[in-house]
Amino acid sequence: MALRWKLCRVHSNGSLVEKSDEFDPSSFEPESFDVMFVGSNEGPLTTALDEACEVTADFSVFMLSQKAVMRLAEELSRYDRTTYATVDELLEASFHERINDPQRQHFYDKVASRVDELREFVAEAASGGDCIRFEVM
């Protein structure tokens, strides 16, 4: 069963920015995003989430500080569709290599679109001086 999670923009005082300022990754786990960035399950997103998890005792909600959001935004700004992992790299690293040929490109495009949205979400949070709350559901 896949991990259910989402990201929420939060003002530095702890209040939600807006309900619409949430990032829902669909059925993709954080590691799938990192595969697209660095070709491995360990990359900028999981690193940021691991750091947030080290400073909280609640294992269902983690907070990325303004500083952490700024670092993550800077890191993610280095990537775009020209630098993302290839279809084969994504499928191999995310254990989806059994997807048949007609579905491979569709799956890749779906993940790449979510990655683009994640980059935009983090960049907007950073430019607004917001924190990001990572919720496991």
Q: What is the 3-state secondary structure (H, E, C) of 88-109?
A: HHHHHHCCCCCCCHHHHHHHHH
Give the position of tokens 């950073």: 126
Q: What is the 3-state secondary structure (H, E, C) of 26-64?
A: CCCCHHHHHHHHHCCCCCHHHHHHHHHHCCCCCCCEEEE
Average confidence score pLDDT of the chain:
84
Average pLDDT estimate for 10-39: 81
pLDDT on residue 54: 62
Taking the C-alpha atoms of residue 99 and residue 122, their distance in angstroms, rounded to an integer, is: 30
pLDDT on residue 121: 94
Q: What percent of the chain has pLDDT over 70?
A: 86
Average pLDDT estimate for 3-23: 78
- How many Cα neighbours within 13 Å face the side chain of 74? 6
pLDDT band, very low/low/confident/very high, at 1 (cuts 50, 70, 90): very low
pLDDT above 80 (res 37): yes
pLDDT digits (tens, 9 = 90+) for 39-57: 888 899 989 988 877 655 5
pLDDT on residue 74: 97
**Residue of 15, 24, 9 lying closest to 73 (CA atoms):** 9
pLDDT on residue 96: 60
Domains and CATH numbers, the chain: 5-136 (3.40.1760)
H/E run at residue 16: none
pLDDT digits (tens, 9 = 90+) for 81-107: 999 999 888 888 766 657 777 888 888
